Chain A
Amino acid sequence: AQSVTQPDIHITVSEGASLELRCNYSYGATPYLFWYVQSPGQGLQLLLKYFSGDTLVQGIKGFEAEFKRSQSSFNLRKPSVHWSDAAEYFCAAGASAGTALIFGKGTTLSVSS
């Protein structure tokens, strides 16, 4: 069955430190991959997406993600975290363009001063 796994439920990072959020997928073929951020009680904002091509994807707010086919991973990174980055982060995948997305369970990011 298709699935998206985010191994880390909660991560705390010091402000200014680097961040990496993990995401693994299980699909028959390489899916379309997404990272979203959600603030409490809000909808989802797209950070970045990967369909094909360059495996290092740049997104908004200084985020980037790297697709690694050999590891079935699509990890999200940021070199320097700001307090405003504290939120819930979801990795999602779709089997093809326009199909419904399957979401991981999410990772809660806390930022300490």
Chain B
Amino acid sequence: GAVVSQHPSWVICKSGTSVKIECRSLDFQATTMFWYRQFPKQSLMLMATSNEGSKATYEQGVEKDKFLINHASLTLSTLTVTSAHPEDSSFYICSARDDRDYGYTFGSGTRLTVV
């Protein structure tokens, strides 16, 4: 089956630093990937839609300068949290849309803690 690798699975960083999260489709091509944020005991909130070779589309209220998304290839999208602050601490999950059948496969998530 389709597999999406998301790294790192957890990261702790100091306030003011930047963190990059990778989302990679291992056995299929994904022109489109999605980034979600999940707070404890809450649902997944769509942050942005990432399209290969073009700028990401951000949801209302999401700071595009803080959450930088790059989708440089058909198998890799990255989310960089810039100048992270404690309120950015959360669980981030990516989802890759399979170009063959438009199925969605989710990564295992990244737990970000900013101290």
Contacts and interface: CB of A to CB of B under 8 A. Distances in A.
Interface of A: 34, 36, 41-46, 90, 97-98, 100-106, 108
A105 B38 CA distance: 10
18 contacts: A34-B104, A41-B111, A42-B108, A42-B109, A44-B106, A45-B106, A46-B104, A46-B105, A97-B102, A100-B46, A100-B49, A101-B46, A102-B46, A103-B43, A104-B43, A105-B42, A105-B43, A106-B43
B6 A90 contact: no
A57 to B, nearest CB: 15
B107 A100 contact: no
B43 A98 contact: no
Interface of B: 6, 32, 34, 36, 41-46, 49, 91, 93, 95, 97, 102, 104-109, 111
B93 A44 contact: yes
A43 B7 CA distance: 12
A59 to B, nearest CB: 14
Contacts of B46: 100-102
A34 B103 CA distance: 11
B28 to A, nearest CB: 13
B76 to A, nearest CB: 17
Question: 8 smallest A-B Cβ distances: which pairs?
Answer: A43-B108, A98-B102, A44-B106, A97-B102, A105-B43, A43-B106, A103-B44, A103-B43
Nearest to B42: A105
B34 A100 contact: yes
A34 B104 CA distance: 10
Contacts of A42: 108-109
Nearest to B110: A43
A90 B95 CA distance: 15
Given A43-B108, A100-B34, A102-B46, 10 more contacts: A41-B109, A43-B107, A45-B106, A98-B32, A98-B102, A100-B49, A101-B46, A101-B95, A105-B43, A108-B41
Contacts of A45: 106
